[in-house]
Amino acid sequence: MSSSSAVSQTHFDAIVVGAGFAGMYMLHKLRGMGLSVRVYERGDGVGGTWYWNRYPGARCDLESMEYSYSFDKDLQQEWDWQEKYGTQPELLKYANHVADRFDLRRDIVFETRVTHAHYDARAVRWAVTTDGGDQVTATHLVMATGNLSTPQLPKIDGVADFAGRRFHTGDWPHGGVDFPGRRVGIIGTGSSAVQAIPKIAEQADQLTVFQRTANFSIPARHGPLDPSQREAHKARYDEIRSAAYETPFGIAKYGSPTQSAFDVSDAERQKIYEDAWALGGQALLFTFTDLLTDGAANETAAEFVRERIRETVKNPAVAELLCPKDHPIGTKRLCLDSFYYETYNRNNVNLVDVKTTAISRIEPHAVVVGDNVYEIDDLVLATGFDAMTGAARDIDIIGADGARLAERWAAGPQTYLGLMVADFPNMYLITGPQSPGVKSQMILSIEHHVDMIAAMIEKLRAEGLTTVAPEAQAQDAWVSENNTVAHMTLYPEAASWYMGANIPGKPRVFMPYVGGVKQYRATCQEVIDDNWRGFAFSDAG
Ligand code: NAP
């Protein structure tokens, strides 16, 4: 296998699509194995999610000391996170630091989108075409395309004709946006909006929030990271990283709860919730074993949060509108905020219910809801993404025997372990559907998958074989296992992006694996120990 990657080169051992945290580590890993690698990235820089999502208030909802790479001990020790939860600028700076430190940019082609990837069984190669006119081939194709990377415009009449400034949170202008003196409308109240709303409200003359579904949000209790805490964490980094793998969500800070919400008295439960609320972050969801499996247990936590909303928001009608009542808490991604509910006490903020009456249309200078016309200068779309499958479906991917990925996934994604797809030899997904990715500390799951992909490629090399692909039966069994596990929980009760419910016409299938990181990792290890059970390694050449 070659190790150089001159610009004129047209065949590579591996092509990686995307230079976010997944693509960057994949590149580093494969290069370390002596493979020639080219990465294509549609942005003009690295960082993926943290490159695109530059809206005001954007920050990670997992603490930086955990939400970071563990693959290089020196990197881990030398980088000093400044804040408890990484801000978008800090995370992007970290991504750039990693790119510099490991000299990654020389193998990344920026501002280039992969448009086609066709498998040639005779040549045992993927032929890849880009919008920049590149036509290259590779033995391995790695989709490091992210789970939340295809921003969605809402299907509302007139949205394309809005004449003022229009922004999507997932594709925010790089120079930033100023809102003083502006009348701003924002559609959406998911995680992105919950972070952006307090910041925009501080600047804008007037902010109108169009809310379809009220979401549960918990105070992040964000703040600077105390250097002594940081150093104490670093001193135990290995131990903490290992502990994370033993937890349901891959987050060491939140271990497995041990008791049911009904094992304790009402007063004890209240105290446990109050302590979790005071701690902030996702802690509340980790208080009891049955919050995501038992409706009654879940309701105790949900009502606790509704009470906090009613306490915080002064106008009772607005408070009630902000209280989520149509899904169990945690079944849509729990939002983390800094002064979200408090923002509705400001005179310049107006909440409009667009569930009872949907947005009728968008006019060049207004959002129209029934008979009400809300005039605005700027429209912010915090309307989410075609999650988990959108990015892969945007590329015309054809595997063996003319199998089209878009068609294979027409009724919902089908993968083996979220890593590979039957009939798509040597094509790998990093944190694909039916893996814990989005239900875990993402970087930990990325590292796990990158290491597994590297191990598969190494096995091919060591045994003189050329292709690996999952067996159809193993894939069917995994899809079925994924569904069984999901339906043992409350998750499918919410119309969430986990279910594909945010995209009109998308099949309603629960996509992430929710059996937990610990269980998933154990399953993967069993598969590996059983000589990669369910994966067919062969010498197709
Ligand atoms: P989202 O959770 O999908 O929220 C989209 C919002 O837009 C929802 O409130 C949705 O309402 C609303 N919406 C969509 N179409 C609409 C329409 N036609 N009319 C009215 N409302 C409409 O998207 P997001 O907030 O960008 O977050 C996506 C995910 O990204 C999060 O769940 C999280 O995993 C990740 N994220 C993480 C962070 C963080 O780490 N702090 C920050 C931001 C995002 P419905 O709910 O009724 O569909």
pLDDT band for position 6 (cuts 50, 70, 90): very low
CA of 206 to the centre of ligand 1 (A): 22
For residue 7, is pLDDT > 60? no
Mean of the pLDDT values across residues 425-450? Answer: 97
Ligand 1 touching residue 500 (CB < 6 A): no
In short, whether 148's Cβ falls inside 6 Å of ligand 1 is yes
What's the mean pLDDT in 161-165? 97
Q: Is 354 in the pocket of ligand 1 (CB under 6 A)?
A: yes
CA of 89 to the centre of ligand 1 (A): 21
* Residue 391 pLDDT level (bands cut at 50, 70, 90): confident
The pLDDT tens digits for 407-420 are: 999 999 999 999 99
Distance separating alpha carbons of residues 278 and 19, to the nearest angstrom: 37
Average pLDDT over residues 388-400: 92
Q: Whose CA is nearest to atom 24 of ligand 1?
A: 384
193 Cβ below 6 A of ligand 1: yes
Task: State if residue 310 touches ligand 1 by the CB under 6 angstroms criterion.
Answer: no
pLDDT at 285 over 50: yes
What pLDDT, on the 0 to 100 scale, is given for residue 255?
80
- Mean local confidence (pLDDT), 68-88: 96
Is the CB of residue 502 below 6 angstroms from any atom belonging to ligand 1? yes
**Pocket flag, ligand 1, residue 383 (CB < 6 Å):** yes
Confidence of residue 110 (pLDDT cuts 50, 70, 90): very high
Q: Residue 152: CB within 6 Å of ligand 1? A: no
Contact between 66 and 252 under an 8 Å Cβ cutoff? The reply is yes
CB 386 less than 6 A from any atom of ligand 1: no
- pLDDT at residue 2 is higher than 60: no
150 with 390: CB under 8 angstroms? yes
Rounded distance between C-alpha atoms, residue 31 and residue 341, angstroms: 47
Cα(134)–Cα(113) distance, integer angstroms: 10
Residue pair 106/72 in contact (Cβ under 8 Å)? The answer is no
- How is residue 509 written in tokens? 């299938």
Cα–Cα dist 191/52, whole Å: 15
- Residues 287-309 have a mean pLDDT of 98
Q: What is the pLDDT of residue 5?
A: 41
Q: Of 211, 441, 502, 503, which is best to mutate to test ligand 1, by the most ligand atoms within 8 angstroms of its C-beta? A: 502
Q: Identify the CA nearest to 254 among candidates 524, 516, 522.
A: 516
CA of 504 to the centre of ligand 1 (A): 14
Q: What is the 267 CA–ligand 1 centroid distance (Å)?
A: 34
DSSP H helices, 207-260, are 227-235, 237-245
Angle at the Cα of 436 from the Cα atoms of 434 and 437, rounded to 5 degrees: 100
Q: Which helix (H) or strand (E) holds 202?
A: helix 191-203
387: Cβ contacts below 8 Å, ≥ 6 apart: 147, 148, 150, 438, 497, 498, 500, 502, 511
Ligand 1, residue 148: give the atom nearest the CA. 30
Closest ligand 1 atom to the C-alpha of 191? 25
Q: What pLDDT, on a 0 to 100 scale, did the predictor assign at position 392?
A: 83
User: Dihedral of CA 439/445/449/450: which sign?
Assistant: positive
- The pLDDT-based confidence of 301 (bands split at 50, 70, 90) is very high
Does ligand 1 have an atom closer than 6 angstroms to the CB of 169?
yes
Counting residues of the chain whose pLDDT is more than 90, the rounded percentage is 96
**Around 316, how many Cα atoms within 13 Å sit in the side-chain half-sphere?**
0
In the three-class reduction of DSSP (H, G, I as helix; E, B as strand; rest coil), residue 213 is classed as coil
> Which of 383, 439, 511, 514 is the best mutation target for the ligand 1 pocket, counting ligand atoms within 8 Å of the beta carbon and taking the most?
383
Contact 495, 501 (CB under 8 A): yes
Please give the distance, rounded to the nearest whole angstrom, from the Cα atom of residue 194 to the centre of ligand 1.
9
| Total Cβ atoms within 10 A of residue 486 | 21
Structural contact between residues 146 and 20, judged by C-beta atoms closer than 8 angstroms = yes
Asked whether the whole model's pTM tops 0.85, one would answer yes
Q: Is any ligand 1 atom within 6 A of the Cβ of residue 61? A: yes
The span from the CA of 283 to the CA of 262, in Å, is: 18
User: How many Å lie between the centroid of ligand 1 and the Cα of residue 165?
Assistant: 20
**61 pLDDT above the threshold of 70:** yes
338 lines ligand 1 (CB under 6 A): no
* 393 pocket-lining for ligand 1 (C-beta < 6 Å): no
Does 147 contact ligand 1 (Cβ within 6 A)? no
- Region 214-229 average pLDDT: 95
Q: Of the candidates 205, 198, 208, 200, which has an alpha carbon nearest to the alpha carbon of residue 182?
A: 205
Calculate how far, in angstroms, residue 173's C-alpha sits from the geometric centre of ligand 1: 19
Amino acid at 522: A
Ligand 1 mean position to 384 CA, how many Å? 4
Q: 484-513: per-residue pLDDT in tens?
A: 999 999 999 999 999 999 999 999 999 999
Would you say residue 184 has pLDDT above 70? Answer: yes
Domains (ranges, CATH) in the chain? Answer: 11-150+387-464 (3.50.50.60), 159-381 (no CATH)
Q: What are the angstrom distances between the C-alpha of 262 and each of 7, 258, 270?
A: 63, 12, 12
CB of 187 within 6 A of ligand 1: the answer is yes
List the structure tokens of 325. Answer: 């009542």
What is the SS3 string spanning 410-461?
CCCCCCECCCECCCCCCEEECCCCCCCHHHCCHHHHHHHHHHHHHHHHHHHH
Separation of CA 187 and ligand 1 centre (Å): 9
Residue 55 has pLDDT above 60, yes or no: yes
* pLDDT exceeds 80 at position 3: no
User: For residue 478, how far is its CA from the centre of ligand 1 (angstroms)?
Assistant: 28
